[in-house]
Amino acid sequence: MERFPLRRAKWAAPFIAPFAPGRHEAVIDAGEVRVKMGWLGSATIPLEQVAAVGRMRWPWWGGVGVRIARSTVAFVGDSGDAASIELTEPLSVRAPLRWRARRIVIALEDVDGFVERLAAARRGGGESP
């Protein structure tokens, strides 16, 4: 199991903290990716539903928190680099109500590490050292 903390801007803390207490993270474990951002939302993504994983830039005007857009749910606490997970079929995500998504965006402290580890897990790379 590997944990990747979500990145949060200091200025965003007053907006996120009341609705998202606790740990904000993405976890790669046992054939799935779990993302949690307190009461704001969560997702469990089976690895077999991951079509592609890559990077993108989350725009400042996109906001922070759990954001929804057409076929997308984003777990973001800051603008900038983020991981983008494209899915093979729509997935029901809590954002905080149910939303069908074909893409999940996650702003992480270690975007490169998450993308590399998720790509390895999809290939059957097992646990990293």
Beta strands in 39-116 (DSSP E): 41-46, 50-58, 65-69, 72-76, 80-94, 98-106
The answer as to whether 93 is a domain residue is yes
Q: Closest Cα partner for 115 from 54, 58, 73? A: 54
Q: What is the mean pLDDT of residues 51-77?
A: 94
Q: Is position 96 within any domain?
A: yes
Instruction: Flag whether 128 is in a domain.
Output: no
Domain that holds residue 70: 2-122
Is 129 within a domain? no
pTM of the model: 0.90
Average pLDDT of the residues of the chain: 90
C-beta atoms surrounding 103 within 10 Å = 19
Number of domains in the chain: 1
Which contiguous run of DSSP H or E holds residue 35? strand 32-37
The answer to the question of residue 84 being in a domain is: yes
Does residue 13 have a pLDDT over 50? yes
Residue 23 has pLDDT above 80, yes or no: no
Residue 100 DSSP one-character state: E
The mean per-residue pLDDT over the stretch 24-52 comes to 94
**pLDDT over 70 at 24, yes or no:** yes
Q: What is the rounded average pLDDT of the residues 92-96?
A: 94
